[in-house]
Amino acid sequence: MRRLFALLMIPLLLLLAGCSGSGSDGSTSSSAAAASGNPLDSMKVTSSEDKKVPGLDFAKPLISKDAAAKVIKEGDGDTVKAGQSVSYVGAVISGSDGSVQNETFTTGKTESLLLSDSVKQQNEVLYNALVNAKVGSYVAFAAPAQTPTASPSAGASGGASASASATPTASNVIVLKLQSAKNIPTRAAGTAVAPKAGLPTVKLAANGAPTVTVPKTKAPTKLVAQDLITGKGTKIKATDTITVQYHGVKWSDGSVFDSSWKNNSPVTFPLTGVVKGWTQGLTGKTVGSQVLLVVPPSLGYGSQAGSPLQKETLVFVVDILDVAS
């Protein structure tokens, strides 16, 4: 079953949203690709003004067979450590001609990425480039080049034959400027709130991991968003990107269907990219809070035909650890 939240780096994927692949016009020669070593070795930052996309110089087309990453200009700030949340602005650059496909430098809108074990598992190349980099550094990540499907042409027998000389398209390159790095708590911290009668009960392990017991009563038909702990941090907006620990069970049988606590690894995602029950239930809550959400199907997966959760009322315990507005 697909996880409730894709543990891919959603903010980075948002940078890629709307940009097409760095295609070749057919005249690209493989000799222009990096011959050996890191294909980003030729990339240099030529200008780095505030709220401007950095000037970049590199051998074109940039074709990376595998994912590659490198610090292309070192900053002079604190060293980024594993487990920290790093904030950044970034741009997607065409490896074909250097054009900017998408960017957040000019807006100054930062995104954040928690350098957790989950991120390391999903993209070890980028993770390794970010850990031990210094705040203020520019880090480049080259996505693997795509080899286009050869166009079929009609042969003498009327069948299709494919060209064997298809050249990989140039790689898209994400260039990030690291703005800050900070430690993130592993669990909610604030003022405990007395639980309301009739709602699921929550017991916490020594490390903060919740166990949820669902009452043997009819599930609520409306959204419940009940603080269990009220934090003193920033108030969450519906457009924010948040870092959380979460635990989800079905009201119908109390079984766990998803939990970040399984690997004790918080996740980061935009509230615009989750089920409506999360967006509505967490908007207005504060960082440091632990929130009990009871999400009816209409605000969960009710519209997703065939989903095993389509008809389920879902219960979540969410620890809000950080926010990037």
Residue-wise pLDDT for 9-51, tens only, equals 444 544 444 344 444 443 333 333 334 589 999 999 999 999 9
The b-or-e profile of 96-130 (16+ CB within 10 A means b, else e) is: bebeebbbbbeeeebbbbbbbebbbeebeebbebb
Least confident of 34-38, 121-125, 181-185: 34-38
Contact between 254 and 322 under an 8 Å Cβ cutoff? The reply is: no
pLDDT at 149: 61
pTM (2 decimals)?
Answer: 0.75
| Closest among 248, 266, 118 to 185, alpha carbons compared | 266
Q: How many whole angstroms separate alpha carbon 135 and alpha carbon 221?
A: 47
Return the structure tokens found at 88: 């950044």
* Angle (CA) 219 221 227, round 5°: 80
Two domains, one topology: 10-149+166-182 and 191-324: yes
Least confident of 82-86, 120-124, 253-257, 317-321: 120-124
Asked whether the bond before 61 is cis by omega within 30 degrees of 0, the reply is yes
Chain-centroid distance, C-alpha 34: 29
pLDDT at 160: 47
CATH topology of domain 10-149+166-182: Chitinase A; domain 3 (3.10.50)
- For the chain, the domains span 10-149+166-182, 191-324
Q: How many whole angstroms separate alpha carbon 162 and alpha carbon 206?
A: 61
Write down the residue that tokens 């954040």 correspond to: 112
Query: Does 155 score more than 50 pLDDT?
Result: no
Higher pLDDT, 18 or 140: 140
Question: Sorting pLDDT into bands at 50, 70 and 90, what band is 148?
Answer: low
191-324 CATH:
3.10.50.40
